[in-house]
Amino acid sequence: MRYAYLGPQGTFTEAALNSVPEAAGAEHLPYATVPAALDALRRGEVEAAVVALENSVEGSVPTTLDELATGQPLQIVGEVHLPVSFALLVRPGTTFGDIKTVASHPHAQPQCRRWLAAHVPDAEWRAATSNAEAAQHVADGHYDAALAGSFAAARYGLSVLAEDIHDVADAVTRFVVLRRPCPPPPPTGMDRTTVVAFIGEDHPGALLEILNEFSMRGINLTLIQSRPTGQGLGSYLFWMDFEGHVADARVGEALMGLRRICADVRFVGSYTRADRIRPQIRRGTHDTDFTEAAAWLTAIRSGHS
C-alpha cells in the first residue's frame, strides 16, 4: 500500500496519516499540494490519500471540498480527528525581536491571529502550501519564523521559540482517508455519510426541499457547506455530511429523494466516525420501520390489507 499526503515531511497531515492503523507499514509519499496528492490517487500512483477536510476553528478546507465535489470521483473510507496546536519555529538563536516574517498554511494563521498580534505585532505573514513547507523555508533562510507542529522542528533543524500557540483551545482538525471508488466499508452503527447535491434550477425553497429529505427521515446533518460550481454567479452546490450509512434504510430513502429533486448527487462515502458517536434514531426511522411499512403497502396493493 502507498498513501499520498500533503507534504513535505512534518505536516499535521503526516501526523494524521501516522495514526491510521491500516497505514502502518505502508509507504507514505508526500505531495506539494492537496490537488497533487488527490491526482496521484486518481492516476493510480498510490492506493489511498489522506487530506484535511475541516477544522473546528477555521471551518472547512475549500480546496479539499472543491476537489472532491467536482474533480474525478474519489471516495472517503475513513476519518481521523487530530488535536492541533502550533509552535513558533525559528532558526537557532532567533529572538522575538528578530522576527519580521512568519509563514504558515493559510488555515493556520487565522487560528493564531491574536497570539501573533500580541507577540510579534510587526511581523508580516507569508502563505505556504503547508506548515512543514513554511518550516522548510525558515530553515532555508527565506522567512524568520513558521507556525507548524513542534514535531517539525527537529526535522528541519529549527528551534521551538514558543509552543501551544492558539487563539481557541482544544482545536481539532478532521482528516479523511480516500480511495478510488469502491464498495463502502460495512456499517458499524457509528457512521457518517457524505454527499454533494447540485441544484438544477435556483428557486425559492430549493435548499429547504433538500433539507426536508433529511428531516422527514430523522437524519441529523453534521456539516453543510455551499460552494460555487464554477458555472457562473449564483450557481452553487451543497456539500453535506450526515449521520448514518448508505446501507441504512433511512439514508437510502433520503438519497433517492435527493436524486429525484436535484440535477445531480455525488456520493462521496459512508465511513465510521472518528468520534464513535451513535446517532439517536427517531421513532419510525429504524430499518425495521421501513421494512414493516413496505410490507403493509404490499399487502394493500395485493388486496390483503
Residue range 166-217, pLDDT digits in tens: 999 899 999 999 999 999 999 999 999 999 999 877 788 889 999 999 999 9
Answer for the pair 174, 192: CB distance below 8 angstroms, yes or no. no
Question: In which band, very low, low, confident or very high, does the pLDDT at 230 lie, cut at 50, 70 and 90?
Answer: confident
Residue 305 pLDDT > 70, yes or no?
Answer: no
Task: Look at residue 300 and give its three-state secondary structure.
Answer: helix
* Partners of 101 in beta bridges: 124
Percentage of the chain modeled with pLDDT above 70: 100
Percentage of the chain modeled with pLDDT above 90: 91
- As a whole number of angstroms, the longest Cα–Cα distance in the chain is 87
What is the pLDDT, as a whole number, of residue 235?
80
What is the pLDDT, as a whole number, of residue 35?
97
What domains does the chain contain, in order, with CATH numbers? 1-83+171-182 (3.40.190.10), 86-165 (3.40.190.10), 184-299 (3.30.70.260)
What is the pLDDT, as a whole number, of residue 234?
75
> What's this model's pTM, rounded to 2 decimal places?
0.92
Residue type, 56: S
CA angle 35, 50, 6 (to 5 degrees): 50
Q: Is 141 exposed, middle or buried (0-12, 13-18, 19+ CB in 10 A)?
A: exposed
Tens digits of per-residue pLDDT, 51-81?
999 999 989 999 999 999 999 999 999 999 9
The stretches of 159-244 forming alpha helices (DSSP H) are: 206-215
* CA 183 – CA 248 distance, rounded (Å): 15
Q: Could you tell me the three cell numbers for 94? A: 532567533
Tens digits of per-residue pLDDT, 120-175?
999 999 999 999 999 999 999 999 999 999 999 999 999 999 999 999 989 999 99
Residue 231 pLDDT > 90, yes or no?
Answer: no
Q: Quickly list DSSP for 81-118.
A: EEE--EEEEE-TT--GGG--EEEE-TTTGGGGHHHHHH
Task: Look at residue 254 and give its three-state secondary structure.
Answer: helix
Q: Could you tell me the three cell numbers for 259? A: 436524486
Q: Quickly list DSSP for 191-213.
A: EEEEEEEE-SS--TTHHHHHHHH
What is the pLDDT, as a whole number, of residue 201?
79
Average pLDDT over residues 14-20: 96
